[in-house]
Chains A and B, each alone.
Chain A
Amino acid sequence: MILVLCEVAPGSSEPDEVSLEALAFARALSEAGGGVAVRAVVVGPVPDGDHLAAVLGDHGAGEVRHADGEGLAAYGGAAWAAAVQAVREETGSVAVLAGGTPRGMEVMAHLAARLQVPMAANVVSFDGLSPLTVRRQVAGGAALEEMRLPERPAVLTVAGHAWSAHGVGGPAATWVACHPEVPAADRRATVVRTAEPEPDESGSLRSASVVVGAGRGAGGPGGFGPVTELAELLGGVVGVTRVVTSLGWRPHHEQIGQTGSRIAPDLYIACGISGAIQHWAGCASSKAILAVNTDPEAPMMTRATYAVVGDMHEVVPAIVEEIRNRA
């Protein structure tokens, strides 16, 4: 049996997309292994279990183990791992996996440490089953590592957007509630408060027909003026790289990539973005890409449909002006 940790945002009953991708990976692993069962584990409160069971069933989970109760309401890596470990013991799973989100990474790392087995982070594919041999992203995606996971259970995370999430028409999963005991030692580090998250407007990013993106090349929070103007002129929205959100220059919901939104616009204009694999994972489906970069060798430039070599602070205002002049 293969067990997949499925993440649900606090207060929501909608599974995270990267978790559904991990389920797709688990289905492929199951098929290669002769059809072992795929089950999901969900930790913490869920407002609408019926809905979640229907979605996860559609994506191939035969059963959902819902671990809830004392010590699991607030997120904590060790507490969640204790819950997943209890479910894994009950189900005797030979592989436990999660999406490569911050929580997926953390909980799997805890689980691997507790079980004293290896873990493979950011897996993109598997080559063999005995022993399980996987390929995973390393060096920020510049290289791939072939890694063996001979121990059981095999513990891994699936790199975001390396697999595509799609329903397979399975029936609603059987919902099994459980209340694993979380020892006090595993509750020492849990979230004590969460600042009101920024309003999530990533929906418009995912559905926009034009996205104007900017990365570290924007140079700071003040560097987004012309980028925003160009996006508005083209009836599009702004998207950014992880560097930009982690530096606090722009809100999280604007992030494109493996740990952000996946976009498929008619045009993606990528300004001052190197094109690391984790960013590429989120924008590769764009119908056309225009890259603006000072470095003609940046991966984004060599993969784009169109490229302009130059400083985005000069090029983007010039494009804005040219559009205005022609209007």
Chain B
Amino acid sequence: MTRVLVAVKRVADSSGEAVLTDDGQGLDGRYAGWTIGNHDACAVELGVRVAEATGGTVTVLSVGPTEAEEQIRSALALGATAGVLVEADPRTLGPADVAAEIAGVVREATEGYDLVLLGNDAADTGDFQVPVRLAYALDRPVVTGAGMVTVDDGVVVATVNSPYGDETYEVPLPVVVSVLEGGVEPRYPSLKGRMAAKKVAVETRQAGSDPAGPGRVRWHLPPPAPSSTEVLGEGPAAAPAVVDALGRLGVLP
């Protein structure tokens, strides 16, 4: 029975055009909406699978604004059993601060958490550090960038799809693992799951004081590249124009 904690971050959806907040401290989700990153979504999926396979539990946690309860509920609808929201303005927190907040929750949990899963890096700030800093705060080993995570007899087996081949780690619990998208396909919520998620009480607590901060001055959008693209057409009908262009480029056999 593995007790899993999955940490997710509420981020502005960045699949469309990026819009910055007025103070330049991050992405503005007012138009695009809010979500969690793909790595976080895979962490939730793996957390639920581990709990299912070991008869364990999954608690989902977010450090963020009151509205992050929305992302916690989405994870609850997928099979997480409890939720914790650490209320904070994430723009004032650096990776060490976020790690400290998560570590606080882990330390104070009555039953404890054997496995903490997180996305490898947040889809907005991309700091690549919260999982590692959390491991140091808890004095636990950490594996980063795992695509697949299973628990077998109290040992975490994590596979990292590395440029040097698929690398496997085997580490006895308790462990921190960060997840990279690709190893699993996140499931969709069932109606039953969505109904059940509404009833779960999400525990709310306040973040500690005196964060070290992110060291951020401000964000900038790169200037749009001047476009001099020649549109050759639409759909299959563009094929003759394409092949003409290939001829001009001298790449036809």
Once A189-B142, A246-B181, A307-B232 are accepted as A-B contacts, the answer to whether A315 and B164 lie under 8 Å apart by CB is no
Of A32-40, A167-175, A192-200, the segment with at least 4 beta carbons within 8 Å of chain B is A192-200
Per-position 1/0 for A130-157, Cβ under 8 A of B: 0001010111101111111110000001
Cα–Cα, bound, A137→B144 (Å): 20
Q: Is the Cβ of B235 less than 8 Å from the Cβ of A310? A: yes
Most buried by B among A103, A112, A138, A197: A138
Q: Measuring CB to CB, which residues of chain B are less than 8 angstroms from any residue of chain A?
A: 14, 17-18, 20, 27, 94-96, 121, 123-129, 132-133, 135-136, 139, 141-145, 147, 160-171, 175, 180-182, 212, 214-222, 224-225, 227, 229-240, 242-243, 245-246, 249-253
Q: CB-nearest residue of chain B relative to A143?
A: B219
Q: CB-nearest residue of chain A relative to B182?
A: A246
Q: Is the Cβ of B94 less than 8 Å from the Cβ of A118? A: yes
Q: CB-nearest residue of chain A relative to B163?
A: A252
Within 8 Å by CB of B132, from A103, A106, A236, lies A106
Q: Is the Cβ of B217 less than 8 Å from the Cβ of A133? A: yes
Cα–Cα, bound, A113→B136 (Å): 7
17 contacts between A and B (CB under 8 A): A75-B167, A102-B163, A106-B144, A113-B129, A145-B217, A146-B218, A189-B169, A192-B170, A198-B165, A234-B246, A248-B161, A288-B249, A308-B234, A308-B238, A318-B239, A319-B243, A323-B252
Q: Is the Cβ of B215 less than 8 Å from the Cβ of A290? A: no
Q: Is the Cβ of B217 less than 8 Å from the Cβ of A144? A: no
A114-B136, A139-B126, A189-B169 provided; 16 other pairs, C-beta below 8 A? A109-B144, A110-B136, A116-B96, A118-B214, A120-B215, A121-B121, A121-B129, A137-B126, A138-B219, A139-B14, A146-B219, A197-B163, A303-B227, A305-B230, A306-B245, A323-B252
Once A189-B169, A235-B253 are accepted as A-B contacts, the answer to whether A322 and B243 lie under 8 Å apart by CB is yes
Q: Is the Cβ of A267 less than 8 Å from the Cβ of B246? A: yes
Q: Is the Cβ of B133 less than 8 Å from the Cβ of A113? A: yes
Least CB distance, B45 to chain A, in whole angstroms: 14
Q: Which B residues touch A188, using CB under 8 A?
A: 141, 171
Q: Which A residues touch B214, using CB under 8 A?
A: 118, 147
Least CB distance, A310 to chain B, in whole angstroms: 4
Q: Measuring CB to CB, which residues of chain A are less than 8 angstroms from any residue of chain B?
A: 9-10, 75, 77-78, 101-103, 105-106, 109-110, 112-114, 116, 118-122, 133, 135, 137-140, 142-150, 157, 185, 188-198, 209-210, 233-236, 243, 245-248, 252, 259, 266-267, 288, 290-291, 296-297, 299, 301-311, 314-315, 317-319, 321-323, 326-327
Least CB distance, A298 to chain B, in whole angstroms: 10
Cα–Cα, bound, A299→B231 (Å): 14
Q: Which A residues touch B17, using CB under 8 A?
A: 297
Q: Which B residues touch A114, using CB under 8 A?
A: 136
Once A101-B163, A149-B215, A196-B165 are accepted as A-B contacts, the answer to whether A267 and B249 lie under 8 Å apart by CB is yes
Within 8 Å by CB of B249, from A78, A101, A235, A266, lies A266
Within 8 Å by CB of B18, from A118, A142, A192, A311, lies A142
Q: Is the Cβ of B14 less than 8 Å from the Cβ of A142? A: yes
Q: Is the Cβ of B217 less than 8 Å from the Cβ of A147? A: yes
Cα–Cα, bound, A165→B8 (Å): 37
Cα–Cα, bound, A105→B181 (Å): 17
Cα–Cα, bound, A140→B123 (Å): 7
Q: Is the Cβ of B142 less than 8 Å from the Cβ of A78? A: yes
Q: CB-nearest residue of chain A relative to B15?
A: A274
Cα–Cα, bound, A308→B241 (Å): 10
Q: CB-nearest residue of chain B relative to A260?
A: B163
Least CB distance, B136 to chain A, in whole angstroms: 4
